Structure 1
Amino acid sequence: MTETNETKIGPRYGRAVIIGASIAGSATAAAIAPYFDKITIIDRDRLPEEPGRRTGAPHSYQFHSLTAAGLENLEALFPGLTKDLTERGAPHVDPSQVLRYRSKRGWFPRQQSGMRQLRATRQLLEWYLRSKLRELENVEVVQKTTATGLIIENGHAVGVLTEGESSGEIRGDFVVDASGRPSLTPHWLEAAGYPRPKETVVDAHWGYTTMYLKVPEDWDPGYSSMLIAPRIDGDGPAATRGGCVVKHEDNLVVMTAQGCAGDYPPRDIEGFKDFLGSFESSEFLDIVEKFEVVGPIQSWTNTAGRLRDYVNLPTRPENLVVLGDAAAALNPVYGQGMSSAAIGARKLGTALRSYQDDGATTLDGLAENFQKDLDSIIQLCWNFSTNADYSIPGVEIDGVVQEGTKSEAAEYTDRVLALATEEPEVSLKFQETGNLVRGGEWLSDPELRQRIQEDWDRLGALGKG
């Protein structure tokens, strides 16, 4: 792996310890490697030598999406990623052009855009990142080892306690928690006398079931991916059911059935087919009936969004940062988890470069400043997913079921979504926001607001089943 233009070798800061070797941990290692003498990544799994499933990443079998911004940031950290994975068959596409997308308010127009996505499976992508890390002499991966606690001395994180093949202590000068949803950092902070971060949990009871199918090399239905979202409003299966199909490498397509409000897709083949055939489109079922199923059918229901507020901790140890799902476990249905982790990792690299350029001999203050900087991308992704989930009947916030009445903000956003089915410019802005290349400020544009207000009733009825 070659050095990127955004890295500069200078005085280094000793040893960094990263908990987790998945997307967030691997991206972090690449981002911070130029600034440390040694990087030690700890993972509880025996990591596969080839793309494949592993115990510590049970969700990796499900459908994943790498947004345009996620690809841009991973490419900066792993130069050549797009070329290498495209050569392995991963489609490199304009998502606005190749995606057939039916939002809850209707079909979006398809059009060309400046965005690009790489449609590699999560298993291939994760394996590729780890394989490129092996080219870095100062990066090591310690496998079959679980982090069980933080070592904090004189107000600084100086390592982790471990169990497994490398049992005892792994000490360092900087600790990164990239361990994902199961992160124990809140417990470790509390045990060390620090406050726990405040947690917010939003659960709209989504679940999904995935299978893979082998298609002929010349398979071309006129799109490379199709997504039909639940309508949310109204009655019948279409209100809570949807699905997606996406073409990946090796002529594989991933077929995922989605359900919200506790309407979980079944795992058995006949139940899976019945679910796919129960809402508005026969295309999903036609694909399943026509092509060979490869591998098992797997379900996933651990979809609650969990936000841990590391920004507003009144006190914290120095030299400890938390990113990826460990900081904000986003509802995976919205496909921004891998991308936000990559963006966060690159932000950490930028922060370290700034310290290095300033000639700082310690990293005091970096963790607090980084968590504040990271919060910008976290809030964008969090708002994108939770604003949609708030409208789903039975949604729970911190364990309390909400009444289900839509806020004025949600009613407004629904009408903008309806307008997007008619106007390509509005549709593109929605897709750019979903791909993290545009913020959400455009939704508050005064001219757009006036237009929505003037057409409130018609747009409110548009696309409702």
Structure 2
Amino acid sequence: MSVFTQRFDRVVIVGGSIAGSLAAAAAAPYFREVLVLDRDQFPTTPQQRNGVPQGAHFHALLAAGRNAMDELLPGFSEQMLEMGAADLDSTADVMRLDRLGWSPRFETPLHFLMASRPLIEFVIRDRAGAIDNVTFRAGVDVVGLLGDNGAVTGVRLAGDGVDELVADLVIDASGRRAKTPEWLAALGYSAAPETLVNAHWGYASTFLRVPENWEPGFKALACVPFGEGALTPESAQRAMAMWVVEGERRWVLTVQGSAGDYPPRQVDELKAFVASIGAPELSDALQAVEFPEKIALWRDTTNRLRDFAGHGDRPENFFSIGDAWAAFNPVYGQGMTSAALQARTLAQELAEHAASGVDSLKGLADRFYGRTSELVSFCWSSSTALDYRLPGVEVTVDGEPQEVQAGSADFSDRLAAWASLDRDRYVKYRETTQLLRSNEWLQDPVVVDEIKQNWDELGQLVKVR
């Protein structure tokens, strides 16, 4: 890890989950003290904790997120694999069913990790906590910010008396329920515009026990909602995913329903919900496994964007990261990777800042938001575009309901069909969905023209086959 002779004194990070732990690793070379505060208690082993209720459900760590975590926390992948995570080929090991049917399967170098959320979070926090100047303090409730002369100067903590903690920089990584607008309002700042997109998704998840020496022909099985062209009327908004995680003969299952069509908690009813999708492969997989643990439900899936990047009325020496800035519908698997890429960008920005010899953090928040806003915008656009296709989606801006225009999927469906017809471009397409590659190549006039020229033929592929 690079060390500079000139460091700032203290950075306080609010929230010790994935985004906060990665931000701590990014900031560590440039501050004398990195203090991560969380109201929850951290387990000493990989296990579910109260502060992460969504941890019981499936989590997808995209390839770009894995790479960023390895850069910020060298040895991350090795420790994950040592503790039981699975390394999967994103095409050969995955059976994926969508509006084009079953996706092509062949070997590629495009690999990603499969593991439970508790293991991912534990390894990240374990490696971040091993950095000499990083300290995690659990059971600490941050209730506000300190400010002076246009800058945040620390945080206020809950307690009987006045408990204040000064800092050169404060980073809010407190997640979906972040109190950032209230904290900034108390310092006299106006609220950043806030957009909510809710397609009313719900999850039912559990960990499975699979038969000994089970060889189903895949390590991950996934089906997304079909919408129009669904195999059965009931399955238009339904989906499921199951894949190997750490632990002997242990897999995770998450069944999903959108547009308020929520999956049930009882095992037999859950199997019937999956069977209604109409793909025998999904039902066959569930008939072969055991359900030894309870089924957990989750419905907090609203996309929420607070436009801090475009809002000029904010203080220096403070910014939000991860879900505290932009929370995406978790069904699309972008949250952890977006947080990791934001943290890596923070590390790059701090390195440039330190190398310049500037003795102030003024402008850091502007530069951080400026360098990460394109990533956040891409994730937001792709997540909400898919949710806009679902019936009953609700959109509000600053609490005001917005008229929703149903989005057309005609071009994006044909784009996916075009990519599936050639191995090289299909790998590039998967690299794009794994956030390893910019989507600019998909907007190339040559690509667009080819799709338009073959519009009807590609349209014939957009159906279950």
How would you bin the TM-score normalised by the shorter chain?
over 0.9
Instruction: Identify the residue that residue 247 of structure 1 maps to in structure 2.
Output: 244
Aligned partner of 1:100 among 95, 101, 107: 95
Residue identity in the other structure for 1:378: V
Q: What is the DSSP-based 3-state SS (H/G/I as helix, E as strand, rest coil) of the residue aligned with 1:293?
A: coil
Deviation at 1:200?
1.3
SS in 1 for 2:200: coil
C-alpha distance in 2, partners of 1:406/1:172?
A: 45
Among candidates 216, 221, 231, match of residue 216 of structure 2: 221
Contact 1:393 1:404 in 2 (8 A): no
**TM-score, normalisation: structure 1:** 0.94
**Bigger Cα displacement from structure 2, 317-326 vs 277-286:** 277-286
Which of residues 122, 125, 135 is equivalent to 1:130? 125
Residues 343-370 of structure 1: per-residue CA shift (max 9 Å, x gap): 1111111111111101111111111111
Q: Kindly state the Cα deviation for residue 334 of structure 1 after the two structures are TM-superposed.
A: 0.4
Q: CA deviation at 1:406?
A: 3.3
| Counterpart residue number, 2:440 | 441
Question: Cα deviations across residues 139-159 of structure 1 (Å, max 9, x unaligned)?
Answer: 111111111111111111111
Aligned residue for 2:292, secondary structure, equals: strand
Which 5+ residue runs of structure 1 have no aligned equivalent?
none
Per-residue deviation, 1:243? 0.7
- Separation in 2, partners of 1:54, 1:165: 26
State the TM-score, normalizing by the size of structure 2: 0.94
* Cα displacement (A) at 1:405: 3.6
Q: Segments of 4+ in structure 1 off by > 4 A?
A: 164-167, 401-404
Separation in 1, partners of 2:253, 2:378: 28
- 1:12-161 → structure 2 map (5 Å cutoff): 12-161=7-156
Does residue 388 of structure 2 align to residue 390 of structure 1? yes
Cα distance in 1 between the residues matched to 2:372 and 2:168: 21
**Within 1, Cα distance between the matches of 2:429 and 2:198?**
23
1:83-130 CA deviation, whole Å, 9 max, x = no partner?
A: 121122211122122111112232221133332211121101111122
Give 2:246's aligned amino acid.
E
CA distance in structure 2 between the aligned counterparts of 1:458 and 1:166, rounded to whole angstroms: 71
Measured in 2, the distance between the counterparts of 1:57 and 1:370 equals 26
Q: Secondary structure at the match of 2:436?
A: coil
- Is the CA contact 1:245–1:256 (under 8 Å) kept in the aligned structure 2? yes
CA distance in 1, matches of 2:377, 2:115: 26
Deviates more, 1:113-122 or 1:46-55: 113-122
Between 120-129 and 67-76, report the one with greater CA deviation.
120-129
Q: 1:162 to 1:67 in 2, by over 3 A?
A: same
Q: Does 1:347 align with 2:345?
A: yes
Distance 2:451 2:460 in 1: 13
1:185 lines up with 2:184 in the alignment: no
Aligned to 1:416: 415
Checking the alignment, whether the CA contact within 8 Å between 1:419 and 1:459 is kept in structure 2 is yes
**Cα 1:231–1:187, aligned 2, differ >3 Å: closer, same or farther?**
same
After superposing the two structures, state which structure 1 stretch, 379-388 or 33-42, moved more.
Answer: 379-388
Change (3 A) 1:217 1:154: farther
Residue 312 of structure 1: how far off its partner (Å): 1.5
Task: Report the count of equivalent residues.
Answer: 458
Q: Distance in 2 between matches of 1:232 and 1:252?
A: 31
Alignment partners' CA distance in 2, 1:184 and 1:311: 17
> Percent of aligned pairs with the same residue?
39
* Structure 1 vs Structure 2 CA RMSD: 1.9
Deviations 1:376-407 (A, max 9, x none): 21112112211211211222221647555434
Report the secondary structure of 1:56's partner residue.
Answer: coil
Kindly report which structure 2 residues correspond to 1:364-375, keeping only aligned pairs within 5 A, or say none.
364-375=362-373
